[in-house]
Structure 1
Amino acid sequence: MRTRAHENNPRRSARYKAVLAFDPVKPQLPPVRILDAACGDLDPVLPAYGTLIQSIRMVSCDRKNVWAPDTKRSSAAAIAVDGTGRALFIHARSPWPVHDLVEALLALPLDLRRAMYVEGGPEAQLFVRAGGREVERLGAFEGSADKENASLAWEIPNAVVAVRR
């Protein structure tokens, strides 16, 4: 993760093939992008953005589900980009196998182009404050979604904040 003012970790993981790029250094650039290391679009583009967050791909640059099938279920938080370049902040409270969640997202009329996983289980959280409303969604592991402690937010390792310009 890197911002213009701070670099959390300069090393890129070969396993994490998605990079969320925003805060462009030039105004003519798209305001947000998800780059895909498997498509060769990282190195030329990384210097053009002030903020970079690396994570695991869910939807590749050719719009394919790249998450391996698994039976493990948990809540999930993801960030995606649609065909017009809009950022989509996705939260699935109900525990899903991630591969199945990706299939469901691709089946929706969202024109989803790329997506990356940002957190799972209780740390998968979404908070929105806009238009005089607040919405808070918390994550859970399979079997814990209805338990008493599932209504308490866990500490989160990182946060992505978006402000309308």
Structure 2
Amino acid sequence: MGICPPVLPAGRRPRHPALRRFFGLLLLCGWLLCLCVRQPLPARADQTATDPPPVPPETADAAASPDIPWIRQEGLAFAELPLPLRDGPGPRVAVVRLSPDVFDFVLCAVGRGKHPPLTLRQWAQREGLEAAINASMYLPDGVTSTGYLREGSYANNSRLARRFGAFFVAGPDDDALPAATIIDRDEPDWQARLARYRLVIQNYRLISGDGRILWKPGGPRSAISAVGADAEGHILFLHCREPLDAYSFADGLLRLPLRLRAVMYVEGGGQAGLVLRADGLEREFNGRSATEFLPAGSIRAALPNVLGARRRPAAPSPETRENSR
């Protein structure tokens, strides 16, 4: 709380001019002190942050953004990187970068298969996925996504959430459209564009389509899973295991040379996860939670809705097609 300015008893004023000037200055200083100590209220998710301003990728500190040591395969790249936070190196973030020209993106949902929720690793094994991440947060019924979620004729949640401004989409009805991308609710004709895609997943925005961080500093700290799109059209699955507030996570991502165009939040806490099962490259990341301190160790969360990446079958070569005739 600020210090309130002094109040003189009603009907009494100092008679000497010097005393009047003194009390006038004291009153002014008191009001200035009240203004200076006021603290800004924390911003809600998906609202524009104005203090401090975001750091665009092109102006990020070069010393904090070295070349990324990718482990590469066809259509896929993986790296673990320390987040360059404003006050120094932060926790590590796992990054899986996927090419929509090589991978199909699919929804795995218990509401469609009528079976119990599975862990990310179990989903990946069951559905033949090379990478898998949380599709979205979900309601207490353990099935329904908090935002709009559909794939083809299956609708998990057909209502658009007013607070959520990001939509991951994949499988367009026209090859001229991006095979997978993130549509921002502030973009023109966003609803008409959603109708053109087989898969639509709605979540909170972390970074808008024009590179703004839509979260103010502070807020709860937790492990975070997120999905992003970069300037080259890749889709990125992102995971930070150590607790971090959403603004710091987004700010650190923009300081890395990932050329991110948009990022959406998909889950936080112990349920946030990421699995990679590429050829000879297997990784599993789970959010840090209190269960890790139990004698049995970490418990992997069972999830009702998962976003997965499945490698497309290789097109047969001309020689193979000729021999099959």
Inter-partner Cα distance in structure 2 for 1:124 and 1:55? 14
Q: Pick from 290, 311, 320 the counterpart of residue 164 of structure 1.
A: 311
Residue 150 of structure 1: CA displacement?
6.1
User: Superposition pairs for residues 3-22 of structure 1, below 5 Å?
Assistant: 3-22=151-170
**What is the distance in 2 between the residues matched to 1:82 and 1:137?**
22
Quick one: which amino acid aligns to residue 60 of structure 1? S
Report the RMSD for the aligned CA atoms in angstroms: 1.7
* Cα distance, 1:25 vs structure 2: 1.7
1:147 alignment partner AA: F
Tell me by how many angstroms 1:41 deviates: 4.2
CA distance in 2, matches of 1:146, 1:94: 12
Match of 2:51 in 1: none
The amino acid across from 1:16 in the alignment is: F
Question: Of 147, 152, 164, which residue of structure 1 is paired with 2:293?
Answer: 147
For 2:245, which of 77, 92, 97 is the aligned residue? 97
C-alpha deviation, 1:140, in angstroms:
2.4
User: 74-83 or 22-31: which moved more?
Assistant: 22-31
User: What whole-Å deviation, never above 9, does each CA across 1:22-45 have from its counterpart, x for those lacking one?
Assistant: 111222221111111123341121
* Alpha-carbon shift at residue 78 of structure 1 (Å): 0.2
Percent sequence identity is 36
- Which structure 1 residue ranges, 5 or more long, are not aligned? none
In the alignment, the residues of structure 1 paired with residue 223 and residue 291 of structure 2 have an alpha-carbon distance, to the nearest angstrom, of 9
Residues 41 and 95 (structure 1), Cα distance of their counterparts in 2 relative to 1, 3 Å cut: farther
**Retained in 1: the 8 A contact 2:168–2:180?**
yes
Q: 1:51 aligns with which of 158, 175, 199?
A: 199
Runs of 4+ in 1 over 4 A off after TM superposition: none
List gaps (5 residues or longer) in structure 2: 1-148, 313-325
Aligned pairs, how many?
Answer: 163
Higher RCO (C-alpha 8 Å, min separation 6): 2
- Measured in 2, the distance between the counterparts of 1:60 and 1:104 equals 15
Deviation string for 1:43-93 (max 9, x for gaps)? 121111100000000001110100232231110000000001100000000
Report the Cα offset of residue 146 of structure 1.
5.5
Looking at secondary structure, tell me which structure has more helix per residue: 2
Between the aligned partners of 1:58 and 1:145, the Cα distance in structure 2 is 27
Matching residue within 182, 185, 202 for 1:34: 182
User: 3-state SS of the aligned residue for 2:238?
Assistant: strand
Q: CA deviation at 1:155?
A: 1.7
Residues 224 and 241 in structure 2, CA contact (< 8 A), matched pair in contact too: yes
Residue 162 of structure 1: SS of its match in structure 2? strand
Distance in structure 2 (CA, Å) of the matches to 1:43 and 1:150: 45
